[in-house]
Structure 1
């Protein structure tokens, strides 16, 4: 999914592998408007060339399904389809939509995969950056098109069918794209007999087993200050997925104000609070990728309360008058490397 809006600024590279062994088999590339890297401690059938080809092919397939920039993608064709008409979608896309709907319901709409009209209005989607701050009327018109209650997914033995109650509903799975990709590559590796790996697609990470030195994989949560080599914490994922969302890199300034790419579906406007980074640890990168975005919309207090109530492993970085401050739930503590 070549999400060009991520090319407007440097994407939030909130997670990076720590102390990567020189003996690792590692490939890197570009996908979804950002970077990916796959590091193995096991041999891959056919070697580095085969690994690169198969990873690239899998990511290209994902783009063909859920890209908003490819007019021929399954998602783009669904967005052009009429209302109240069942539209067949592939299994991977159905999995992403189902997770989006579930997270949207759990967060009471703060994660909304139909928020695309607002994202585009503020210039973080395929549309160009606005020449002026959107008016209240423009925001209201875009908000009328938004809402997961207007999206309907049916899954059965015959496959998955997706429909919408408004013709102009705009589905955008960009907030889940990195998680979708990380899970898909992890699945590819497992099917190839590889059980010791680290997969990174920007802020979404999947890992399993150990690195080539026999030690657990470790991941750094990068310091938002962008000081070279600075990080807030190091975690050992323990074969769980890790995903981070942040507001401090993908933004622009207009009319003397700074606007983040993270849009609050309730207000129709970019977030303005002091939560700058949210890291979530869950079994799949898709799940973690869904909730890190919702937490960023919530803000520091509400995000921490939500994470505690739902017993989520969450690590927040908040900008204060004294600098950046970390706040995390008890469920996150076992993953921290002291």
Structure 2
């Protein structure tokens, strides 16, 4: 999925670390094999390459995700639309090369004729999807990551874990409590350092809103051309990146799949329509908008509305942005010092740094293997996982 994940399990002493790791990696690989546009042999890539308008067989999970996406597309009148793939690729936010340039308006006009959720059908029995125009392509990036979180949660639940925290690229779902109280999920301060937490929301088990949270924002993935900033979130109705004051949208829902999709949908809709839609759909939402004396304004619904009230009543004892800004600066300074110290250690220790795939992560482990887990660069670890998955399938 091009991002990191984190899994925390409290209790469940019967589960070993290796069992959890192998199980989680295998489940996420299945999600990628179904829904990743970066893999040529994935179900989604094969569907996108097909020019047939006949029913295309897919896995039950794939059909489930497409069905949920189509439901939200209808509820938002196309503001959320997974057939936006050609436009995402044209703006170089897809699996192709990042150009950082604005597409030709005439080309965008032609591509918009290939977009529209009305041109896509889905059925569950037998699971399949169908396009009504041969050029139709889909992109599940705005919903598949949340679905992956749900898959991992259900996997761990099936193994007997009843206190779990799962996060993939910022999308989170919890079950149960951690020792000492409820799991807390951080909502980041937009445009600040990645680890700067604006709010730590407690995920109380059994709440009506749900225990899954997702955030959609314009402050991580974007490019600047001719002094203008272009967000990776494309409005299917205009064919261009969103342009409004929303910096981020956070949604709480019963499943992370729904939270992920609704966060994107409301981000596309913008402040007024997005807030009205959230209330209409009974969603717990926090909108962070650029503007105001402190640089940001907060609007919220449901359980997240309290943070908007705190922001407005900072003088009465709430959380004020004036208090957060010094903390942000201090955090940045501390991390800068730590990074500088690490760099000095590497220079004097003469030891290579291991990091992400494509080069740094290809450093050799002590046993001679490599650790990269991305399908585009298989390693010994990947082969081991494949063998264990095949063995499990044979034994079942």
TM-score, normalised via structure 2 length? 0.73
Which residue does the alignment assign to 1:149?
118
Higher fraction of helix: 2
Query: Residues 123-138 of structure 1: matches in 2 within 5 Å?
Result: 123-130=92-99, 132-138=101-107
1:8-87 equivalences under 5 Å are: 32-43=1-12, 45-87=14-56
* CA distance in 1 between partners of 2:194 and 2:300 (Å): 24
The residue that corresponds to 2:203 in the other structure is 237
List structure 1 runs of 4+ shifted beyond 4 angstroms: 333-338
Contact kept in structure 2, 1:45 and 1:192, CA below 8 Å: no
Displacement, 1:232? 2.6
SS at match of 2:198: strand
Instruction: Say whether 1:327 aligns with 2:304.
Output: no
Range moving further from structure 2, 230-239 or 297-306: 230-239
Q: Deviations over 1:253-309 (max 9, x none)?
A: 112211110001111001121101101111000011110001111112221121122
8 A contact 1:42–1:197 mirrored in 2: no
> CA separation in 2, counterparts of 1:220 and 1:130?
33
1:247 paired residue among 215, 218, 221: 218
CA contact (8 A) 1:237 1:281 kept: no
Structure 2 residue aligned with 1:265: 236
Superposition deviation, residue 223 in structure 1: 0.7
Secondary structure of the residue aligned to 1:34 is coil
Matches of 2:28 and 2:193 in 1, distance apart? 31
**TM superposition shift of 1:178:** 1.4
For the Cα contact (< 8 Å) 2:146–2:257, is it kept in 1?
A: yes
Equivalent positions of 1:309-328 (< 5 A) are: 309-322=280-293, 323-328=295-300
Q: Report which of the two has the higher share of strand.
A: 1
Partner of 1:277: 248
Aligned to 1:106: 75
In structure 1, the residue matched to 2:65 is 96
Partner Cα distance (2:101, 2:255) in 1: 39
Deviation at 1:333, TM superposition (A): 4.2
Q: Could you tell me which residue of structure 2 aligns to residue 10 of structure 1?
A: none
Query: Using the alignment, how far apart are the partners of 2:124 and 2:307 within structure 1?
Result: 35
Cα distance, 1:200 vs. partner?
A: 0.4
User: Are the equivalent residues in 1 in contact too, given 2:188–2:194 (CA < 8 A)?
Assistant: no
Question: 1:44–1:180: structure 2 CA closer, same or farther, 3 Å change rule?
Answer: farther
| TM-aligned CA distance change 1:67 to 1:231, over 3 Å | same
Structure 2 distance, partners of 1:127, 1:195, is: 40
Count of aligned pairs between the two proteins: 304
SS at match of 2:162: coil
CA change 1:229–1:51 in 2 (3 A) is: closer
The SS at the match of 2:302 is coil
Whether the 8 Å CA contact 2:300–2:307 is kept in 1: the answer is no
For residues 15 and 194 of structure 2, the distance between their equivalents in structure 1, rounded to whole angstroms, comes to 36
Which residue of the other structure, out of 190, 197, 222, is the alignment partner of 2:188?
Answer: 222
Query: In structure 2, what is the Cα distance between the partners aligned to 1:248 and 1:228?
Result: 10
In structure 2, what is the Cα distance between the partners aligned to 1:227 and 1:255? 25
Give the drift of 1:142.
1.1
With a CA cutoff of 8 Å and minimum separation of 6, indicate the structure with the bigger relative contact order: 1
* C-alpha RMSD over aligned residues: 1.9
| 8 Å contact kept, 2:231–2:242 | yes
* Matched residue, 2:383: none
Instruction: Give the 3-state SS of the residue equivalent to 2:87 in structure 1.
Output: helix
C-alpha displacement at 1:135, in angstroms? 2.3
The Cα of 1:203 is off from its aligned counterpart by: 2.2
Largest Rg, 1 or 2:
2
* Residue aligning to 1:14: none
The TM-score with structure 1 as length reference comes to 0.85
Q: Contact 1:104 / 1:112 at 8 angstroms: preserved in 2?
A: yes
Q: Which runs of 5+ in 2 are unaligned?
A: 206-210, 311-317, 319-396
Q: Is the 8 A contact 2:298 2:307 kept in 1?
A: no
